[in-house]
Amino acid sequence: QAEVGKPQRNCYTLPGLDFSYGLYLPRTDGGVPEAIGHWHSIKPRAVRALMPRDFVSMNRGAVRAGHSTAQQFNQYYKAKETRCKEEHFHLSTSPPKVPADITYGIATRPSTPFFDLLQHKYKELWMEQQRALMVTQKMGKKKVILVQQSRETRTTLLRKQPGPAKEESFWHLPHWEKVEAHLSTFPGPGARKKAFSA
């Protein structure tokens, strides 16, 4: 049985100090001494880049041959494959020629003129712009007023000289107009006259 209050002991025995863990790969290339002593370099060979297919001439030939469907065109491409000529198509393998004094990246922003900030020059420029804007707006309003004054229509005339106000008259039944009042709520005839005069 396991001891109370103690972890179980491992029952496996570890190998000795001369044991190396993992898979052993024997070196066949000589290791570091071989790399330092010799330099095995691959000689460059001239590889000619394959030019892309010339679809313009192949399509022209397929149409002349009487082909009309996509499948016939694909068969024609496989049978008579033509490539672009070097004088018509240029593969750029070298970097572009750049002048020696070119500066890459974005040009730096010029430093802020603190003297102009201290003198409130930007405020003065803004005020001048606002004044010029106000002058142009006033000139525009004057032009609009002159145009309006030159054209007189019936609406403008009616606005200037409105007609007399129409008195509002309520409609009454004609046979009730001459009937006298049957009630008098005034305390006396003097109060009645005073109320009607007011």
How far apart, in whole angstroms, are the C-alpha atoms of residue 124 and residue 35? 75
Helices 70-79 and 55-65: crossing angle, nearest 10°? 110
Write out the residue range of the structural domain in which residue 70 sits. Answer: 51-91
Give tens-digit pLDDT for 14-47.
888 888 888 877 767 777 777 777 766 677 777 7
Does residue 19 fall inside a structural domain? Answer: no
Strand segments, DSSP code E, in 26-176 are none
C-alpha distances in angstroms, 107 versus 104, 110, 191? 8, 9, 97
Cα distance between residue 31 and residue 37, in whole Å: 10
- Looking at the chain, the whole-number percentage of residues with pLDDT higher than 90 is 20
101 inside domain: no
Q: Report yes or no: 67 and 78 within 8 Å, Cβ to Cβ.
A: no
Q: Is residue 129 part of a domain?
A: yes
For residue 45, being part of any structural domain is answered with no
User: Mind listing the pLDDT tens digit for each residue in 124-148?
Assistant: 999 999 999 999 888 888 776 665 5
Residue 85 lies in a domain: yes
Q: How many domains does the chain have?
A: 2
pLDDT of residue 164: 76
pLDDT value at residue 149: 62
User: Could you tell me the CA-to-CA distances from 176 to 30, 79, 168, 184, 185 in Å, in that order?
Assistant: 137, 114, 20, 18, 20
Say whether pTM exceeds 0.85. no
Q: Please indicate, yes or no, if residue 142 is contained in any of the structural domains.
A: yes
40 within domain boundaries: no
Residue 67 within any structural domain of the chain? yes
